């Protein structure tokens, strides 16, 4: 099978061409930031991004004729179950208008997949987009009635990592319990029970461990006082939680390698911040293991920072009493999209239809 995968980022779009499970071409297509700034909405970027991609493919002599499937990263959708989805009109409408309120370049994934599909034929899919929400009701409750927990996790990479480890164990993902960690620019730690992510930290909502650009969980009273101190605007505070917190706020950089270099050269504060992040990840792993009632087949570490042996060793020493710890450094997003499309076309996984109705839209009955 010939499968083309598309993963839009802020100033680039990663593309890859697969024949079955073998990647035969991969490229990170750069977009001019000044050109992107001219567009008021994400959907307005679509023709420019597509043209840029086609120009690169022509330069590289890569042909899309005969592709069986085009797979986009996905995003901008309402809460949905994990799985492989066909791109339909409802999905395109929701992605274009960012129906979930999250404006992220990944939202263009389904739109681009559809554009290429219409031009070259084949099928268009999204696989485990960021909008996957499989939380149990009990995991949604907070101590403030108006606030409910929702799922924002690195679903695509987490589920692919879990799929791969289940195969290594000679089992199906749907028969296993895992704690999976994505440790990169954002850090998500989730409890996977029998093929569903039943709980995890909301990386958009400001939960869980500190990350290079994200604050993670902070004491609510101090946060509220800081919000009303007059020092910062609402945007400033939201940015502190999701864009300019973590390493950036403490050390002025989001580069984990730079932070480690600072620590190794004797910067004790940089070492403290690095160690604090790892400590918080360890605590989150313990929390998710408890959500699985201690029945854990493995603790899996993915994302870019899992390349760091010291980080993996520290987490292993702290958490191996729960279950074996295995590192899967880097990301499998392109491979995960291709694998999902292949499973769908071979009929080994049921293809789902995006209805536009969120899988969770409040508790059935709430006390007044």
Same domain (yes/no): 325, 338: no
Closest CA to 151 of 88, 199, 193: 199
> Is 312 among the domain residues?
yes
Q: What range does the domain containing 175 cover?
A: 143-331
pLDDT at 365: 64
Same domain (yes/no): 161, 250: yes
> Is 225 among the domain residues?
yes
> Is 137 among the domain residues?
no
> Is 320 among the domain residues?
yes
Same domain (yes/no): 151, 48: no
Same domain (yes/no): 320, 346: no
pLDDT at 368: 47
Same domain (yes/no): 75, 155: no
Three-class secondary structure assignment of the chain: CEEEEEEECCCEEEEEEEECCEEEEEEEEECCHHHHCCCCCCHHHHHHHHHHHHHHHHHCCCCCCCCCEEEECCCCCCCECCCEEECCHHHHHHHHHCCCCCCCHHHHHHHHHHHHHHHHCCEEEEECCCCECCCCHHHCECCCCCCECCCCCCHHHHHHHHHHHHHHCCCCHHHCEEEEEEECCCEEEEEEECCEEEEECCCCCCCCCCCCCCCCCCCHHHHHHHHCCCCCCHHHHHHHHHCCCHHHHHHCCCCHHHHHHHHHCCCHHHHHHHHHHHHHHHHHHHHHHHHCCCCCCEEEEEEHHHHCHHHHHHHHHHHCCCCCEEEEEECCHHHHHHHHHHHHHHCCCCEEECCCCCCCCCCCCCCC
Same domain (yes/no): 176, 125: no
> Is 166 among the domain residues?
yes
Same domain (yes/no): 242, 270: yes
Same domain (yes/no): 21, 163: no
Question: Has this prediction a pTM greater than 0.95?
Answer: no
Same domain (yes/no): 88, 128: yes
> Is 264 among the domain residues?
yes
pLDDT in single tens digits along all 368 residues of the chain: 999 999 999 889 999 999 988 999 999 999 988 999 999 999 999 999 999 999 999 999 999 999 999 999 999 999 999 999 999 999 999 999 999 988 889 999 999 999 999 999 999 999 999 999 999 999 999 999 999 998 999 999 999 999 999 999 999 999 999 999 999 989 999 999 999 999 999 988 889 999 999 999 999 999 999 999 999 999 999 999 988 999 999 999 999 999 999 999 999 999 999 999 999 999 999 999 999 999 999 999 999 999 999 999 999 999 999 999 999 999 899 999 999 999 999 999 999 999 999 998 888 765 54
Same domain (yes/no): 88, 194: no
CATH number where 250 lies: 3.30.420.40
Same domain (yes/no): 111, 168: no
Same domain (yes/no): 91, 149: no
> Is 138 among the domain residues?
no
Number of domains observed in the structure of the chain: 2
């Amino acid at each position: 099978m010939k499968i083309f995968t598309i993963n839009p980022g802020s100033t680039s779009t990663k593309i890859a061409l697969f024949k079955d499970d073998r990647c035969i071409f991969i490229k990170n297509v750069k977009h001019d930031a000044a050109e992107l700034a001219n567009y008021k909405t994400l959907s307005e970027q679509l023709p420019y991004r597509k043209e840029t991609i086609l120009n690169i493919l022509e330069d590289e002599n890569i042909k899309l004729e005969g592709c069986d499937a085009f797979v986009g990263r996905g995003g901008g959708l309402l809460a949905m179950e994990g799985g492989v989805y066909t791109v339909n009109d409802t999905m395109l409408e929701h992605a274009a208008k960012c129906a979930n309120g999250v404006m992220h370049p990944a939202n263009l994934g389904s739109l681009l997949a559809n554009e290429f599909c219409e031009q070259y034929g084949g099928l268009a899919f999204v696989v485990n987009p960021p909008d996957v929400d499989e939380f149990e009701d009990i995991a949604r409750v907070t101590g403030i009635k108006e606030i409910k927990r929702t799922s924002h996790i690195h679903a695509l990479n987490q589920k692919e990592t879990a799929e791969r480890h289940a195969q290594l164990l000679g089992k199906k993902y749907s028969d296993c319990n895992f704690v999976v960690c994505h440790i990169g620019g954002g850090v998500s730690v989730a409890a996977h029970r029998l093929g569903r992510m039943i709980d995890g930290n909301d990386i958009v909502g400001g939960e869980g461990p500190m990350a290079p650009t994200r604050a993670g969980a902070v004491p609510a009273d101090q946060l509220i006082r800081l919000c009303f101190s007059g020092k910062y605007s609402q945007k400033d505070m939201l940015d502190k939680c999701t864009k300019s917190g973590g390493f950036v706020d403490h050390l002025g950089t989001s580069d984990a390698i730079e932070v480690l270099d600072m620590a190794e050269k004797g910067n004790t504060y940089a070492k403290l911040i690095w160690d604090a992040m790892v400590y918080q990840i360890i605590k989150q792993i313990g929390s998710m293991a408890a959500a699985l009632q201690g029945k854990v087949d493995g603790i899996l570490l993915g994302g870019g920072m899992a390349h760091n042996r010291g980080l993996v060793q520290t987490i292993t020493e702290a958490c191996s009493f729960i279950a074996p710890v295995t590192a899967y450094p880097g990301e499998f997003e392109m491979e995960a999209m291709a694998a999902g499309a292949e499973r769908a076309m071979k009929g080994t996984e049921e293809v789902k239809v995006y209805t536009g109705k969120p899988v969770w839209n409040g508790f059935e009955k709430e006390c007044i």
